Structure 1
Amino acid sequence: MAEARQAKFAIGDVVKHRLFPFRGVIFDVDPVFNNTEEWWLSIPPDMRPRKDQPFYHLLAENAQSSYVAYVSEQNLLPDPDSGPVNHPDIKKHFAGFRNGRYDWRAPVRM
């Protein structure tokens, strides 16, 4: 089992991908890789990230669409100055956007 590191980014942070033209807001964090081996092996070997680092779930956007992305810490850069992310699920997870980041929306208890 890989040893977990302290995450560099937090839920609500706006980030962009280091190599590909998309950005997003973090809505969940895995302390180490927690996806399928098939997913990991689908990444070209010269671009495949290490598994022993935090991986982030993003509400992501690019010029064409919105989607959910799973990205390693080594491939993310902060992007707080580019404004809000335009993803249809933002309001499900976040209460608002201020000072370059999103405020987490507390779950509603029934």
Structure 2
Amino acid sequence: MDIRVAKFHIGQVVRHRVHPFRGVIIDVDPVYGNTEEWYEAIPESLRPSRDQPFYHLLAESGETTYTAYVSEQNLLAEDDPRPLSHPSLGDFFDTVEGGLYVNRTRRTH
């Protein structure tokens, strides 16, 4: 399996190439890492290759917020400057700087 370098990064706002949602990346898998059932549920004609980065997103579409798992081929960099309103943003990020969400600082004792 040929592993590629991720095109997008944690804290970056992206949008789906086909479906009407946008979100912020909270994690990246270098290749497909979800269940076989999830993968098989995607119609074969739309099923992405497993050997590309997959992104975990805090996603929103209209009035709905959720988490999403999306292949790199289905994401585009978002140029909409509006901030996201996902209720879990504060669990992952402290601020937004230059359009990028900045990771929460973890304190240890």
TM class, shorter-length: over 0.9
Runs of 4+ residues over 6 Å off in structure 1:
none
Identity of aligned residues (%): 53
- Supply the distance in 2 between the matched residues of 1:90 and 1:48 (Cα, whole angstroms): 29
TM-score, normalised by the number of residues in structure 1: 0.93
**Equivalent residue runs for 1:65-104 within 5 Å:** 65-104=64-103
Greater displacement, 66-75 / 79-88: 79-88
**Equivalent residue runs for 1:1-110 within 5 Å:** 2-110=1-109
CA root-mean-square deviation: 1.1
- Supply the distance in 1 between the matched residues of 2:9 and 2:44 (Cα, whole angstroms): 28
TM-score, normalised by the number of residues in structure 2: 0.94
Greater displacement, 80-89 / 68-77: 80-89
| Structure 2 residues not aligned, in runs of 5+ | none
C-alpha displacement of 1:64: 2.7
| Structure 1 residues not aligned, in runs of 5+ | none
What does the per-residue CA deviation read over 1:59-103, in whole Å, with 9 as the maximum and x for residues that have no partner? 000013100000000000000433211100001100111211111
